Structure 1
Amino acid sequence: VNELSRLTRKGAHDALQIDNEFKKYGVRFVSVLEPFLDTSNAIGVAIFTLIAALAKQDSDIKAERLRGAKDVIRAVGGRHSSSAPYGMRATREKIGNLVVSVLEPDEDNPDHVATVERMVEMSCAGVSDNKIATTLDSEDVPAPGEAERRATEKRMQSIKKRRVSNEDSPIRWRAQTVRWILSHPAIGGFASERVKRGKAYVNVVARDEGGAPLTPHRGIVPGAEWLELQERRSKRNKTNKQLGAEATPTLLSGWRFTTCGICAGSMGQSRNNGGQDYYMCANPKGHGGLSIKRKDADDYVARRVWARLAAADVDDHEHREWLAEAALRFALQRDLSGVREERRETAARLEHVRNSIAELQADRKAGLYRGRDELAMWRATMTQYRTFEDRCTARLEELDERTTAAIQVPSNWFEPGEDPLGAGSPWATWDVFERREFLDLFLSGVSVGPG
């Protein structure tokens, strides 16, 4: 090697293990810039380990400095890695005492900016991501992958290798591409960070220590417009999908709210020969099917909720808890500042650390931590996990308190009148999506049983 630090920077122990492996196979270690290194005698080994330790120390210092710089940049919402999203470019600006990269609309490619603005307009109008992609494709609008900064020779060769066909076709717009662009916080001027959702990583709004969103970038659309777009897009996900037909949203099906009481499968909608609409188990195999008239089910569920709401007694502990949870859900539904997103992330992190605590406790019970040093490590890790658990719990309480204090359940809900579903009632003025949101405040779901 050129020098020992090029072989390893993990310290003396790692360096000695590598050298021992070399010796086992009759391989001699030679450092070009350090010819005095000789592990065949005690003094040589001492020098060898000293230099290896110094290499690790230097590596740790550089890593800590780099982490610190990234944390400072992240704290103000600047970017320290990855390419700019489609329609935007990075520029260097001074924020406080720091010079960081911020994003702005790409003036060098105004057609890209115009395409993003058009995509936002189409999505706001209710056009699906797939329809947006096919429309842009039919008009021969170049896909982001065809952009000069991304269509490098190496990347194009990689795409060609992954293709099944040997045809040299252009990169096309896809619904996934549209979704990635429209959901990127930078489009609205917000700083972003990558978090894992299931098996994939997504971009979410980055926040300061107080939970406020960071807005260092100049977005293609105003921040409030981008946030409203995300709300509309999330609501549109709660729709019915019927093969070979136009989707007709109904109250209890199509959004994983109603389940079969026999097999726990989701309930879809169907129509019999007499023209009657039904909710039917989408997986009837094994129990002969289960169905219920849609009108009867909708009416029954809605009236049960309104009746309980009208009869709610704030002095009753159970009723008070029920109303408090509904108020919290109502506030989270109408929050456009990203509190709901942060709450979901914090809750997921809390669940993860609690699972880690349980695994750590199980490992100790199984006898995996026996010696004094191992027990000390176990206690240190447990303390770290518990501290993070407390932080997540406290943050959830802060978010819940802030949302419930800011938004209250409308008072007219508690006075529905003689017929809570009749003309002049709030229910009668709502569309199917608003009615779904209302039910979602008070119910976790509906289960339809036999009989």
Structure 2
Amino acid sequence: MPPGRLSKLEPFLDASHPIGAAAFALLAALAKQDSDIKAERPRGAKGEIRAVGGRHSGSAPYGMRAVREKIGNLVVSVLEPDEDNPDHVAIVERMVEMSFAGISDNKIATTLESEDVPAPGEAERRATEKRMQSIKKRRVSKEASPIRWRAQTVRWILSHPAIGGFASERVKRGKAYVNVIARDEGGSPLTPHRGVVAGAKWLELQEQRSKRNKTNRQPGGEATPTLLSGWRFTTCGICTGSMGQSKNNGGQDYYMCANPKGHGGLSIKRKDADDYVTGRVWARLAAADVDDNEDREWLAEAALRFALQRDLSGVQEERRETAAHLGHVRNSIAELQADRKAGLYRGRDELAMWRATMAQYRTFEDQCTARLEALDEQTTAAIQVPSDWFEPDEDPLGAGSPWAAWDVFKRREFLDLFLSGVSIGPGRDPESRKYIAIEERVMLHWRHLETDEDHEDDEETPAAV
């Protein structure tokens, strides 16, 4: 067949012919469909991987490595302690213990730096030529300098859910992205990884790092730890700021407001405050009547807290973990609500995502609350405050008493069973300038068990779309 007659005999190959134009349009549509199917496959795979908590992108956190394992019908990347670099794992474990001891992230970073511990950015798998060039471009100084440990680095490592075995996802908090626990449709945490520390311990660490009252918080510098300061237990009754330590010219020890501007440096003698607060707590304990419903409930609550501190049984271990999960999810709920109020969720799709995430969190919150109630029913009746705390003929603060044998941190734990804090008021009347008695200056905030009402939030007004 002579060339040139092909398009006339087979018009579907001639784009100028109506049949050819239709054929080419059909071919283009099929190609587009095939392209969409191929693009959807990795998106679907990523969704399935995310649903089981497997990693689908990004590098493993410091001290961990990715390995391929089968979960259900999927082969995914899960994380485990890095056996190829056991020194990295040991460093993460050490950082966890330092943070539990109340040492700040900045102090942890400077300690590791002073010991010439290589920073995570110096690790072989991260110190790639491309990454090092990127870091160099971001630096203000042109002088070459090593990557150093920083407080931000420590914070990123210790707050990463994978350290506790939890799956993670990145969410926006303000202008920055943070790693949070990934959850299933019911709100339960996904736990595909093998953490450097147990999940319960990681949750407890996050609680320790976020809560205000840290009974074991070590003071910085050369300061000597004292009973009522150093763990944000004692506050100024005027500005609600923390009370720190101070000495006057005579060498007497005082608790002084750390933010004295505007109220003349409110302070109180340390011994007077210590003795008064301690005496009040022990006096109420000694006067408690187990036949009185209010006193019996108060003692039961304190006994339960004491059990949680001492971890007296396997049931208490489960309760501690469940309570940690509950605290973590409630913090997540508060953060999500704050983000919405700040206008970070706009438009129909973003609001739908917000509601779906909130529903997950609320479902899991209800599960934790119900489980805690069941565990408390098993334990409350059997738990007792130590009997040596109720010696009627003994001075509770004198020689040979439990209090006298305890160090400052043990004493803090004791006070934390019964008090949520102490407020110190002015020492003089502003009008008459007369001294105010200590019992009128010091307010004790007695503890009670948290209930659902303590965490109920008002319904929010939908954000503007």
Q: The TM-score by the shorter chain falls in which range? A: 0.5 to 0.7
2:171, 2:180 within 8 Å by CA — same for their partners in 1? Answer: no
1:171-210 matches, within 5 Å, as 171-181=147-157, 184=160, 186-187=162-163, 190-194=165-169
Rounded to whole Å, the distance in 1 between the matches of 2:277 and 2:373 is: 30
Relative to 1, partners in 2 of residues 1:62 and 1:223: Cα closer, same or farther, differing over 3 Å?
closer
Q: Secondary structure at the match of 1:306?
A: helix
1:350, 1:392 within 8 Å by CA — same for their partners in 2? Answer: no
2:78, 2:192 within 8 Å by CA — same for their partners in 1? Answer: no
Once the two structures are TM-superposed, the CA of residue 136 in structure 1 deviates from its matched residue by: 4.4
Q: Which residue type is aligned with residue 71 of structure 1?
A: A
Q: Secondary structure at the match of 2:417?
A: helix
CA root-mean-square deviation: 5.2
Report the counterpart of residue 47 of structure 2 in structure 1.
Answer: 67
Report the counterpart of residue 252 of structure 2 in structure 1.
Answer: 276
- Give the number of the structure with larger relative contact order, counting CA–CA contacts within 8 Å between residues 6 or more apart: 2
Rounded to whole Å, the distance in 2 between the matches of 1:135 and 1:355 is: 35
1:13-412 matches, within 5 Å, as 63=43, 66-72=46-52, 74=53, 78-109=54-85, 112-113=88-89, 115-116=91-92, 130=106, 133-134=109-110, 136-138=112-114, 140-181=116-157, 184=160, 186-187=162-163, 190-194=165-169, 214=191, 216-217=193-194, 219=196, 223=198, 230=205, 238-241=217-220, 245-313=221-289, 318-319=294-295, 322-323=298-299, 325-327=301-303, 329-330=305-306, 333=309, 338-351=321-334, 391-401=363-373, 404=376, 405=378, 408=383, 410-412=385-387
Q: Secondary structure at the match of 2:244?
A: strand
Q: Which residue type is aligned with residue 239 of structure 1?
A: Q
Q: Which residue type is aligned with residue 194 of structure 2?
A: H
Rounded to whole Å, the distance in 2 between the matches of 1:104 and 1:354 is: 33
2:162, 2:193 within 8 Å by CA — same for their partners in 1? Answer: no
Relative to 1, partners in 2 of residues 1:120 and 1:268: Cα closer, same or farther, differing over 3 Å?
closer
Query: What are the superposed Cα offsets for residues 239-266 of structure 1, whole Å, 9 maximum, x if unpaired?
Result: 334xxx4121111112222111122222
Count of equivalent residues: 387
Counterpart of 1:415 (choices 385, 390, 413) is 390
Q: Secondary structure at the match of 2:274?
A: helix
2:235, 2:423 within 8 Å by CA — same for their partners in 1? Answer: yes
Relative to 1, partners in 2 of residues 1:169 and 1:381: Cα closer, same or farther, differing over 3 Å?
closer
Rounded to whole Å, the distance in 1 between the matches of 2:166 and 2:353 is: 31
Q: Which residue type is aligned with residue 347 of structure 1?
A: R
Once the two structures are TM-superposed, the CA of residue 125 in structure 1 deviates from its matched residue by: 8.7
Q: Which residue type is aligned with residue 311 of structure 1?
A: A
Relative to 1, partners in 2 of residues 1:82 and 1:424: Cα closer, same or farther, differing over 3 Å?
farther
Relative to 1, partners in 2 of residues 1:419 and 1:122: Cα closer, same or farther, differing over 3 Å?
same
1:238, 1:255 within 8 Å by CA — same for their partners in 2? Answer: yes
Relative to 1, partners in 2 of residues 1:228 and 1:287: Cα closer, same or farther, differing over 3 Å?
closer
Q: Secondary structure at the match of 1:444?
A: strand
Relative to 1, partners in 2 of residues 1:409 and 1:62: Cα closer, same or farther, differing over 3 Å?
farther
Once the two structures are TM-superposed, the CA of residue 158 in structure 1 deviates from its matched residue by: 2.6
Query: What are the superposed Cα offsets for residues 38-96 of structure 1, whole Å, 9 maximum, x if unpaired?
Result: xxxxxxxxxx9xx9999999988975664243112x2xxx4333311223321112345
1:306, 1:416 within 8 Å by CA — same for their partners in 2? Answer: no
Once the two structures are TM-superposed, the CA of residue 155 in structure 1 deviates from its matched residue by: 2.1
What stretches of structure 2 of length at least 5 have no aligned partner? 1-14, 17-27, 427-435, 437-465
1:133, 1:178 within 8 Å by CA — same for their partners in 2? Answer: yes
Query: What are the superposed Cα offsets for residues 2-29 of structure 1, whole Å, 9 maximum, x if unpaired?
Result: xxxxxxxxxxxxxxxxxxxxxxxxxxxx
Rounded to whole Å, the distance in 2 between the matches of 1:97 and 1:230 is: 34
Rounded to whole Å, the distance in 2 between the matches of 1:261 and 1:80 is: 51
Relative to 1, partners in 2 of residues 1:120 and 1:258: Cα closer, same or farther, differing over 3 Å?
closer
Rounded to whole Å, the distance in 2 between the matches of 1:448 and 1:229 is: 30
What stretches of structure 1 of length at least 5 have no aligned partner? 1-34, 37-47, 361-373
Once the two structures are TM-superposed, the CA of residue 231 in structure 1 deviates from its matched residue by: 9.2
Relative to 1, partners in 2 of residues 1:172 and 1:355: Cα closer, same or farther, differing over 3 Å?
closer
Report the counterpart of residue 21 of structure 1 in structure 2.
Answer: none
Report the counterpart of residue 44 of structure 1 in structure 2.
Answer: none
Q: TM-score, normalised by structure 1?
A: 0.65
Report the counterpart of residue 28 of structure 1 in structure 2.
Answer: none
1:332, 1:403 within 8 Å by CA — same for their partners in 2? Answer: no
The worse-fitting range, judged by mean Cα deviation, of 209-218 and 149-158 is 209-218
Once the two structures are TM-superposed, the CA of residue 394 in structure 1 deviates from its matched residue by: 1.8
Relative to 1, partners in 2 of residues 1:388 and 1:145: Cα closer, same or farther, differing over 3 Å?
closer
Report the counterpart of residue 6 of structure 1 in structure 2.
Answer: none
Q: Secondary structure at the match of 1:445?
A: strand
Rounded to whole Å, the distance in 2 between the matches of 1:132 and 1:59 is: 45
Q: Which residue type is aligned with residue 281 of structure 1?
A: C
Rounded to whole Å, the distance in 2 between the matches of 1:172 and 1:340 is: 36
Rounded to whole Å, the distance in 2 between the matches of 1:354 and 1:436 is: 34
Query: What are the superposed Cα offsets for residues 375-422 of structure 1, whole Å, 9 maximum, x if unpaired?
Result: xx9xx9999799667525523423532664457453437625432223
Q: Secondary structure at the match of 2:281?
A: helix
Rounded to whole Å, the distance in 2 between the matches of 1:391 and 1:314 is: 37
Percent of pairs with identical residues: 61
Q: Which residue type is aligned with residue 412 of structure 1?
A: S
